Amino acid sequence: MDLKERLSGDLQNKEHPSFNNFNTQNQQNWEDPSMLDYSTRIEPPHFLGFNQSSQTQPSNNQIKVPGQDGPVNETLQANKVQEWDPSAMLNNLSFLEQKIHQLQDLVHLIVGRRGQVLGRPDEVVAQQQQLITADLTSIIVQLISTAGSLLPSVKHTLSAATPSIGQFGQFGGVVFPPGQGMNGGVQPQNASASKVSEQPNTVDVSSNSGNEQNHIIEEHDMKDEEDAEDGENLLPGTYEILQLEKEEILAPHTHFCTICGKGFKRDANLRMHMRGHGDEYKTPAALAKPHKESSSEPTLIKRYSCPYAGCKRNKDHKKFQPLKTILCVKNHYKRTHCDKSYTCSRCNTKKFSVIADLKTHEKHCGKDKWLCSCGTTFSRKDKLFGHIALFQGHTPAIPLDENKGSIGTSDRADSNQAANKVGSMNFNFSNNVSGESGVQSSMDVKGSVDDPAGFFSPLNFDTCNFGGFHEFPRPPFDDSESSFSFILSGSCNYTQKSGEE
Amino acid sequence: MKKQKQECFGGFFNPFDLLSEEIIFMILDLLNHNPLDRKSFSLACKSLYATESKHRRTLKPLRQEHLPSVLSRYPNITHLDLTLCSRLTDTSLSIISNVCAPNLRSIDFSRSRLFSTSGLLGLAINCKNLVEIDLSNATDLKDSAMAAVAEAKNLEKLCLARCKSITDMGVGCIAVGCRNLRFICLKWCLGVGDLGVGLIAVKCKLIRHLDLSYLPVTNKCLSSILKLQHLEDLVLEGCFGIDDDNLAVLEPGCKSLKSLDVSTCQNISHCGLSSLINGAEGLQQLTLAHGSPVTSCLADCLKKLSLLQSVKLDGCVITYDGLKNIGNWCASLRELSLSKCSGVTDEGLSSVVTKHKDLRKLDITCCRKITDVSIAQITNSCTSLTSLRMESCTLVPREAFVLIGQRCCLLEELDLTDNESFLFAGLKSISRCSKLASLKLGICLNITDEGLIHIGKGCSKLLELDLYRCAEITDLGISAIAQGCPGLEMINTAYCKDITDRSLLAVSKCSRLKTFESRGCSLITSLGLTAIAVGCKELTKLDIKKCHNIDDAGMLPLAHFSQNLRQINLSHSSVTDVGLLSLASISCLQNITILHLEGLSPSGVAAALLACGGLTKVKLQAAFRWLLPHRLFEHLEARGCMFQWRDKVLQVELDPKCWKLQLEDPMP
């Protein structure tokens, strides 16, 4: 929100009349208290196309619609009336038309101004994109909500509406086929959305022209938001997406000396190296960290996409979640899409593709000595005892003893419930798995010794989504599903010590 | 044994046919005093043998070798006491678990070693009705053994004292496995901490008795412990990790608590204590021994406990205000122990006893500041005292003792050890306590035969008499006691140097005698010992150290008649190889001390040690360690015998008065 306000403020400084108008309107809206709680006022059925689950348990859903304009409020309020109201619809449509015309004018204006601002074309273009993005977002949201009011009776409205969204998208010069993107975002959820209803969902509906992107809908599970890499929860379109090629990612060096060609992992090292090539590289300016420009002009935040098609971190993915830095990209790509070539020398079972992961593991390898009869291992004794106190029939397993009996006594109902939970969680992240129980046992539950949230990190789910899961054999216990599944609902710090993975 | 059956009725009519089995069972119920009685009963005839076999419920086997035959003879055993089998292999355990499987309810391993996890597992799985296991002192048992014990799902009572090798994991297994546990003792299980104890409290909701003495537990586990609905007895002795911090935040709980022991917990002051007992209105017993000073605050926080009956403050520092506030409690105490408390004065003690008139037991051992004022006050208000212990109350004058006998006629236990001023007049008055069962007069140097004659006349129910170093005593006094107190079970005449065989002859009439101690009575001979051996068949403990005139001639009748002897001290006597070897015929002999025996040769010692199969503890001169082959000791240790090597030089016996002076010398 700050960003947007600042953007609009910047634009105001340009003293363009039409911008002015727009901005004042915008700011009023932010101050409008009714905006703050609009999400509660929105009736879920309007977003049926995006999330059917909301229909079954509306109270569980929180729907955010950021990037609004004032009139949306009215529209939304109008939409609160459940009945199909033709006159309201007409109002909405005419308002939309007006809005689109405004936007058209704006784009015209930008096209006209393009020749004048030669000095720093990038920033200006970025600002313009930003502005159009915001406008288009509001238009699309309105359109959708308008269409949504029809949905209880007419289910196919959405598919009819989708191309029009695509048209809006084209205003901003969309690179990717917009219609496809929309559909990709919408349809799979409809397929089995009813399963989602078990958890509260936070649905970010932020639609915009999205010059280079098609992730119109972001659907997060609550747990997923805890993931460190996505903590900021950026609005789509407020950042620039870069995608490195596979070769680039896997290259050992990213910085090369222009004189001798030597490669370096860090640019600082390269700069140190450059000093040897002559005095001109020894000046403070040459040694200073590059790209440190004056931040008076807002630069678009950079985010990264994984080049692996179908990956959730790939920008084509319907629930795309960008990666924050190049390092994240590298680690993600290696962890998820590469062979695990580093084997732990201690246990000879754990394999890693990132050497740092191996080192972290080796520090703790063999220390997970606290074992429950259900096969779960714990690095800390108190965690094991908490686990045992929680579940009936689980006992501490004494090492040296071959696992004798006493598993499978766990409460059936309990574990079944937990299993369902896993199922729905899986669904949230990956439609292709859709709660299939077999996946539960093969899920990668590595790491996360000290970070409970780590277990739910998208990385792990990615692993199981993309063919990785066949690498992980099932745990040795026969009823691993039940014994494993309660872990999710139980205490968090553990690792599944079984077989490989 | 079976061959000895008697065919007294010629086979045509057996009057025992008229006796139903139930009647014989009732007779057997009463045959409890001497284990040999039952033996002779069962040896009388075949039918009595069979009846006795059917009747017996408890069994205390001497050797594990006999277990198979003994167990098959007694099929109805419910309680198996294996404390005499110091060596107990898994094979024996598997025999037990197979033979006694349906009936066995209780088993005691507290002195046994060598068994392992697999034996315990078989026992736990086969004996479904097992409710009680005592595994104390099994220091080498590990968590896996606990996992095996946890298979005994019906277990209600489990004692794990001094199982040092078990950890939270083992206790966790038990907590999960034995859900019906009511009694658990984890004393000195140093590997067990908050987590294990906490899990016990979470999983075993029926716990009534919880002993956590000397465990490294902290406040963390207390909250779950105090939530136990049925907890009655909580022992936190020596839990140094528990302190006042956080105790205050404990929710009021544990209404069922009846007994609390927080002795030696120096970190618990009155604040912590008051939050511990918060809500426990039914508290009856409280032990605060060796804890924080008993001040008025501490006494105040116990004021409201209306059901309090017994308080033990042994070894605490007590202020006058503290004692005064104890007098203000709303409960009327039955039992108060102030032994070794510094700060107990006449005023303080008087204010306590004037309020608590119902006091039954009072312990003021080593309250060295009290005088006749206190005694007068105690005897005046607490006339129903049954037990008074006042060892080493040195300031009490001789006149005060007369009051005890005059006013407290219900006394059953009186400890007057080390009260030098105690005199003949005192004993005369004490002889009025006709219920007296235990009288301790050790180091009362001034008492004479006359006093003992009075005791012998008045206290016919005397069971224990301690005359340690009462040097004035002669045969006359002892004979009077032996005549007047036929039920005597313990007598200590150590260093009563004037005692001769006549005393022993008199004492031998006390057929119940179990413990006889006559150290340093150099006048007694083998003849007197023979009389004791013949007359006192139940003798279990004998100490004849420094009785120079006792030789092998005394050992032979002892070996023949005293078949119940467990413990013997022969140091400084004239016993030789022959006498020692003859003792091997006493099958239950466990503990012998043979120091400074001049007539003992290495080979004689070796032969005797090998012959006594049931030995568990031997005190030997260190020289034998090098004189005898090492393999011999290895063999004996493997049989379950422990050796204690002593290398003290012979000390010349001092004059009794001199000895007292020397004893007091190092003291300030």
DSSP B131-142: -EEE-TT-TT--
Residue A136 lies in a domain: yes
Contact state of B172 with A393 under an 8 Å Cβ cutoff: no
- Residue at B110 is within a domain: yes
Q: Is A72 contained in some domain?
A: no
Same structural domain for residues A266 and A283? yes
- What distance in Å separates the CA atoms of residue A76 and residue B322, rounded to the nearest whole number? 76
Domain that holds residue B94: 35-127
Establish if A380 touches chain B: CB-CB under 8 angstroms: no
Report if residue B98 sits inside a domain: yes
Token pair 């006893």 in the structure block, residue: B353
Non-local (6+) Cβ contacts of B38 within 8 A are: B28, B31, B52, B56
B106 within a domain of the structure (yes/no):
yes
Q: Is B26 exposed, middle or buried (0-12, 13-18, 19+ CB in 10 A)?
A: exposed
Q: Which residues of A touch B169 (CB under 8 A)?
A: 396, 398
A317 and A375 together in one domain: no
Give a yes or no: residue B632 inside a domain.
Answer: no
pLDDT per residue, tens digit, chain A (501 aa), is 444 444 444 444 444 444 444 444 444 444 444 444 444 344 444 443 444 443 444 444 444 444 444 444 444 444 444 456 777 778 888 888 888 888 888 888 877 776 554 555 566 677 778 878 888 888 887 777 777 666 554 444 444 444 444 344 344 433 344 344 344 333 444 434 344 344 444 444 443 433 434 343 333 333 333 344 444 566 666 778 888 888 878 887 878 888 888 888 888 888 888 888 888 888 887 777 766 555 555 667 788 888 888 888 888 888 888 888 888 888 888 888 888 888 888 778 788 888 888 888 888 777 667 888 888 888 888 889 999 999 988 988 887 643 333 333 333 333 333 333 333 333 333 334 333 333 333 333 333 333 333 333 333 333 333 333 333 334 333 333 333 333 333 333 333 433 333
Q: Which of B120, B176, B218, B220 to mutate to test the interface with A (most CBs of A within 10 A)?
A: B176
A385 with B144: Cβ contact below 8 A? no
A194 interfaces chain B, CB cutoff of 8 Å: no
* Contact: B176, A401; criterion CB under 8 Å: no
Residues A333 and A388 in one domain: no
Nearest to B199 among A385, A393, A401 (CB): A385
- CB-hemisphere CA count at 13 Å for A275? 12
Q: Is residue A377 part of a domain?
A: yes
Domain limits for position A130 = 91-113+126-147
Residue B74 is assigned to a structural domain of this protein: yes
> Which of A66-80, B153-167, B492-506, B554-568 bottoms out in mean pLDDT, i.e. has the lowest?
A66-80
Q: Considering only alpha carbons, which residue of chain B is nearest residue A371?
A: B169
Look at strands B79-81 and B58-59 and give their pairing: parallel
Residues A344 and A385 in one domain: yes
Residue B633 structure tokens = 């000791």
The ipTM of this complex is 0.81
CA distance B67 to chain A (A): 30
As a whole number of angstroms, the distance between CA A262 and CA B139 comes to 66
> Which residues in B90-143 belong to E strands, given as ranges?
106-108, 132-134
pTM for the model stands at 0.62
CB-nearest partner of B195 from A382, A393, A395: A382
Taking CA atoms, A175 is separated from A27, A105, A124, A181, A315, in Å, by 30, 21, 19, 11, 12
Residues A272, A255 share a domain? yes
Q: Kindly list the residues from chain B whose CB atom is less than 8 angstroms away from the CB atom of residue A383.
A: none
Chain B contacts to A (CB-CB under 8 A): 142-144, 146-147, 150, 168-170, 172-173, 176-177, 195-196, 198-199, 202-203
Total domains in chain B come to: 1
Q: CB–CB of B371/B347 below 8 Å?
A: no
Q: Measured between CB atoms, which of A381, A395, A401 is closest to B176?
A: A395
Chain B positions in Cβ-Cβ contact with residue A394 (cut-off 8 Å): 176
Contacts of A407 in chain B (CB under 8 A): none
Residue A387 at interface with chain B, using a CB cutoff of 8 Å: no
Which tens digit of pLDDT belongs to each residue from A82-120?
A: 456 777 778 888 888 888 888 888 888 877 776 554 555
Give the best residue of A370, A371, A380, A398 to mutate against chain B (max B CB count within 10 A). Answer: A398
Is B588 part of a structural domain of the chain? no
Tell whether A97 is within 8 A of chain B (Cβ): no
Q: Are both A326 and A383 inside the same structural domain? A: no
Q: Which of B147, B176, B196 is facing A398, going by the closest CB pair? A: B147
Cα dist from B124 to B79, B139, B146, B173, whole Å: 15, 19, 11, 13
In a domain, residue B121? The reply is yes
For residue A230, give Cα distances in angstroms to A205, A218, A329, A444: 16, 12, 13, 20
Q: Both A334 and A271 in a single domain?
A: yes
A:B CB pairs within 8 Å: 42
Task: Name A76's Cβ contacts closer than 8 Å, sequence gap at least 6.
Answer: A38, A41, A42, A145
Q: Is the pLDDT assigned to residue B120 strictly greater than 50?
A: yes
The HSE-up count of residue B318 (CA atoms within 13 Å, CB side) is: 32
* Cβ distance of B143 and A398 shorter than 8 Å: yes
Same domain, A315 and A347: no
Say if A137 falls within a structural domain: yes
Domain count, chain A: 3
Q: Is A81 on the interface with B (CB under 8 A)?
A: no
Q: Are residues A275 and A313 in the same domain?
A: yes
Which of A398, A422, A441 terminates a domain? The answer is A398
| B147:A393 CB<8 A | no
How many alpha carbons lie under 13 Å from residue A95 in its C-beta half-sphere? 22
Nearest to A401 among B144, B195, B196 (CB): B144
Residues of A in contact with B199 (CB under 8 A): 385, 388-389
Residue B623 in tokens: 């020289």
Cα–Cα distance for residue pair B626/A460, rounded to 1 Å: 69
Q: Chain B: residue nearest A370 by CA? A: B169
pLDDT for the residue A83: 55
Q: Report yes or no on A54 lying in a domain.
A: no
The pLDDT, as a whole number, for residue B9 is 45
